[in-house]
Amino acid sequence: MGNITFTMIKPEAVEAGNSGAILNKIEAAGFRIVAMKKVHLSEERAGSFYEVHKERPFYGELVEYMCGGPIIAAILEKENAVLDFRTLIGATNPSEAAEGTIRAEFAESLAKNAVHGSDSDENASIEADFHFSTSERF
Ligand code: ATP
Ligand code: MG
């Protein structure tokens, strides 16, 4: 029993048929899937999820992209979940992502970078609550 992080497989990776391969890497790295669903976010829900980035120049592009197709959202459990998952996914920009990371293998670009990973325990909890009720967690 460890702590949790929250992830989304982003629309272009779902569309490209990479969900299974990405989930494989996540489980192989020792994360346990606590909750998971495929969902098409509305523009309002995507905007609200990324509210922290509202002032950044790419906010509009980010929201449009994230509601452009279904995503797979999941809560993952592992010791040191947040940091270990950030290591597994690699840098935001795939050209800077270390070899073997999910973004190095599957990201298309800085914007379309295949997966989301929470950046702190506090945000992991907020993001997990945004997508999942208690009865959807196992
Ligand atoms: P995420 O929060 O999705 O795990 P991250 O924490 O590595 O990514 P953030 O700085 O939180 O990076 O940015 C959120 C997302 O916004 C990025 O994953 C990417 O999809 C998009 N993004 C970040 N910077 C840019 C940029 N300069 N131009 C376009 N899109 C960007
Ligand atoms: Mg982030």
How do residues 42-75 score in pLDDT, each as one tens digit?
999 999 999 999 999 999 999 999 999 999 999 9
From the alpha carbon of 92, which atom of ligand 1 is closest? 7
Report the C-alpha gap between 11 and 67 in whole angstroms. 8
Q: What angle do CA 67, 73, 78 make, to 5 degrees?
A: 150
Domain limits for position 106:
4-136
Please confirm, yes or no, whether 53 is among the known catalytic residues.
no
Counted residue by residue, the chain has a size of: 138
- CB of residue 62 inside a 6 A radius of ligand 1: yes
Global pTM value: 0.97
Spatial CA neighbour of 4 closest among 94, 111, 88, 80: 80
Residue nearest to atom 3 of ligand 1 (CA): 116
pLDDT at residue 2 is higher than 90 = no
Ligand 2 midpoint to CA 133 (Å): 22
Phi-psi region of 30 (alpha: psi -120 to 50; beta: other; left: phi over 0): left
Which residues contact residue 111 at a Cβ distance below 8 angstroms, ignoring those fewer than 6 apart? 58, 61, 62, 65
In this structure, are residues 39 and 10 in contact, taking their beta carbons and an 8 Å threshold?
no
Domain harbouring 67, CATH code: 3.30.70.141
- pLDDT category at 1 given cuts 50, 70, 90 is low
Question: Could you give the number of structural domains in the chain?
Answer: 1
* Average pLDDT in the chain: 97
Q: Which residue among 53, 54, 92 has the greatest number of ligand 1 atoms within 8 angstroms of its CB, and so is best to mutate?
A: 92
